[in-house]
A and B are shown apart, each in its own frame.
Chain A
Amino acid sequence: MSEAAKGDVFSVVKAIIIEQLGVPEEKVLPEANFREDLEADSLDLVELIMAFEEYFEDKFGRTVEISDEEAQGITTVGEAVGYIEKRIQEEGLA
């Protein structure tokens, strides 16, 4: 994971969402709700979480593991970004 990516979790999350859900850039706002605004279903969310976990894996193989329970609490793009930022700090991901 590069320093730049760590510094701007939102851009990364946004890019992954655009690629995976095929939604236009202007719709991916921090307050956008995954299900309602971005029309993602459960499997989309699972795949997104997988992509986040994969992207934010550091050189030691540690990552921002997101459990099922935690995943259920994430409903908006902003919440996903906030959660990932928190995990990066907590884990001290390199």
Chain B
Amino acid sequence: MVSIERGRCAYCGGCVGMCPSGALELAETRLLLDQELCNECGFCVAGCATGALAIEPAPLVSTRTRLRYDVVVVGAGPAGATAAFFAAEQGLDVLLMEKRQEIGSPVRCAEGINRDMLLAYVEPEERWISAEIRRSQIVTADTGQARTLEGDEIGYILERRVFDRVLAERAAAAGASIMLKTSVQSLIMEDGAVTGLTAHNGRTEMEIEARLVIAADGVESGVAGWAGLESLLRPSDCLSCAQYMLVGIEADPECCYYYLGADLAPGGYGWVFPKGEGKANVGLGVQADLAQMPALEYLLRFIGQHRWLEQGSPVTFITGNVPVGVAGGSIATDGLMVVGDAARQADPLTGGGIGNAMLAGRLAAQVAAQAIENGDVSAATLAAYEQRWKEARGRKMERSYRLKTRFSATDRVSHSFQRAFAVAAVGK
């Protein structure tokens, strides 16, 4: 009997093309096998590039490997890749670990970033800039009233598929090792301190010793919680989002559109971010505790109400949560620092998180280098990371959170909120 090991399957479809009996089918991102049609010829096993297929009895492929690094970074988004880059640049032996098989895809993000925040870390390159933004328009859905804010080079819409990869390439060039399709399974703890982790890549189980672990594993972070840090996201601090990339949209290619409305997107907003050549990220987020239906339903309604959006065709669809709170507890403990969405570092008012993630990644790497040099990775030492983060962004995060919580869902169409949101969104 042919078996599929899901964790190793790359959904390439290679086996489907080789199967003479049509027993294999690639459905969405899942390989399906019809055992009744299968004649167990084994062509598919021979043709599988990743070793995901086997004819029973399946050989035991699992082996245990022991590895050792100064720093292991979990998650290769902007926070993790930036942390890995700066840590490697300071001479540390770094492993950057990504659970997906491709860095930067799928990316759950509207891809907007303020210009200055981006320039602090990388020089803009054409290949990962989709659009340069010079204007923002805030539209109040109930009244149709629009307010436009002009500015010079307010920001960019990125092509994160490329951007995230470039950040990872930079980390690799600085000396970091990268592992793809590798999931962390558990933390190794000694006397309450994180001293490493176990991971699996579909072929090998690994026990990885680390002097320090940096958790950059996103909004659904498991690592922080395993280490005993408070990581639960309250529904009121969670923006449940859905987004299509639509093609064939006639929009101002230099303008970000924001739509506010208590019915349109309770506690959140709808957005249209241009991606150049008639493309746009069209999405919507709703505060999870206020949502009456899934975010996708709000998004479909929003698109349906706007002819210029309705005429577009979707080419990608993503859903995901954006943390719009501030970390409830500490973001560092013995042997571990948490960065990016995992540390709830996205702006509570707008949900923008790329710039903050990169900042946190750099700060964590700096503190890591110092801690490792001094041979002290205790919570007390790593608290310097949290302190630097708060010095840099604490007041702004608190302010955004204050503004977010100050307005109820119905007040978010008020003049005052629009004014605050507009300024925050434009980032000036």
A residues with CB within 8 A of B: 22, 41-44, 46-47, 49-50, 53, 68
In the assembled complex, which residues on chain B have CB atoms less than 8 Å from the CB atom of A46?
416, 419-420, 423
In the assembled complex, which residues on chain B have CB atoms less than 8 Å from the CB atom of A50?
406, 416, 420
B423 touching A43, Cβ below 8 Å: yes
In the assembled complex, which residues on chain A have CB atoms less than 8 Å from the CB atom of B396?
43
Given A50-B416, A53-B416: A42 in contact with B423 (beta carbons within 8 A): yes
Chain B interface residue count, Cβ-Cβ cutoff 8 angstroms: 13
**Interchain CA distance A53-B406 in the complex, whole Å:** 14
Ordered by A's residue number, 6 sampled pairs between the chains whose C-beta atoms are within 8 Å are: A22-B395, A42-B423, A42-B428, A43-B423, A44-B399, A46-B423
**Interchain CA distance A30-B399 in the complex, whole Å:** 25
Mark contacts of B380-399 with chain A using CB atoms, 8 A cut-off: 1 yes-contact digit, 0 otherwise.
00000000000000011001
B399 touching A47, Cβ below 8 Å: yes
Measured CB to CB, the nearest residue on chain B to A22 is B395
A47 touching B395, Cβ below 8 Å: no
Question: What's the least CB distance linking A25 to chain B, in Å?
Answer: 18
Question: What's the least CB distance linking B150 to chain A, in Å?
Answer: 13
In the assembled complex, which residues on chain A have CB atoms less than 8 Å from the CB atom of B416?
46, 50, 53
Given A50-B416, A68-B419: A43 in contact with B424 (beta carbons within 8 A): yes
Residue of B396, B399, B400 contacting most chain A CB atoms (<10 Å)? B399
Given A42-B423, A68-B419: A47 in contact with B403 (beta carbons within 8 A): yes
Majority secondary structure of chain B interface residues (helix, strand, loop or mixed): helix
- Given A43-B396, A46-B416, A49-B419, 15 other A-B residues pairs in contact with their CB atoms under 8 A: A22-B395, A41-B428, A42-B423, A43-B399, A43-B400, A43-B403, A43-B424, A44-B399, A47-B402, A47-B403, A47-B420, A50-B416, A50-B420, A53-B416, A68-B419
Which residues of B from 283 to 315 have beta carbons under 8 Å from A? none
Question: What's the least CB distance linking B346 to chain A, in Å?
Answer: 16
B420 touching A43, Cβ below 8 Å: yes
In the assembled complex, which residues on chain A have CB atoms less than 8 Å from the CB atom of B419?
46, 49, 68
Measured CB to CB, the nearest residue on chain B to A54 is B416
Question: What's the least CB distance linking A56 to chain B, in Å?
Answer: 14
Question: What's the least CB distance linking B412 to chain A, in Å?
Answer: 13
Question: What's the least CB distance linking B228 to chain A, in Å?
Answer: 32
**Interchain CA distance A6-B378 in the complex, whole Å:** 54
Question: What's the least CB distance linking B348 to chain A, in Å?
Answer: 12
Mark contacts of B77-110 with chain A using CB atoms, 8 A cut-off: 1 yes-contact digit, 0 otherwise.
0000000000000000000000000000000000
Residue of B395, B399, B416, B419 contacting most chain A CB atoms (<10 Å)? B419
Question: What's the least CB distance linking A31 to chain B, in Å?
Answer: 24
Measured CB to CB, the nearest residue on chain B to A45 is B423
**Interchain CA distance A49-B423 in the complex, whole Å:** 13
**Interchain CA distance A50-B415 in the complex, whole Å:** 10
Question: What's the least CB distance linking A47 to chain B, in Å?
Answer: 7
In the assembled complex, which residues on chain B have CB atoms less than 8 Å from the CB atom of A49?
419
**Interchain CA distance A44-B428 in the complex, whole Å:** 11
In the assembled complex, which residues on chain A have CB atoms less than 8 Å from the CB atom of B399?
43-44, 47
In the assembled complex, which residues on chain A have CB atoms less than 8 Å from the CB atom of B423?
42-43, 46
**Interchain CA distance A22-B400 in the complex, whole Å:** 16
In the assembled complex, which residues on chain A have CB atoms less than 8 Å from the CB atom of B428?
41-42
In the assembled complex, which residues on chain B have CB atoms less than 8 Å from the CB atom of A43?
396, 399-400, 403, 420, 423-424
**Interchain CA distance A47-B423 in the complex, whole Å:** 10
**Interchain CA distance A46-B424 in the complex, whole Å:** 10
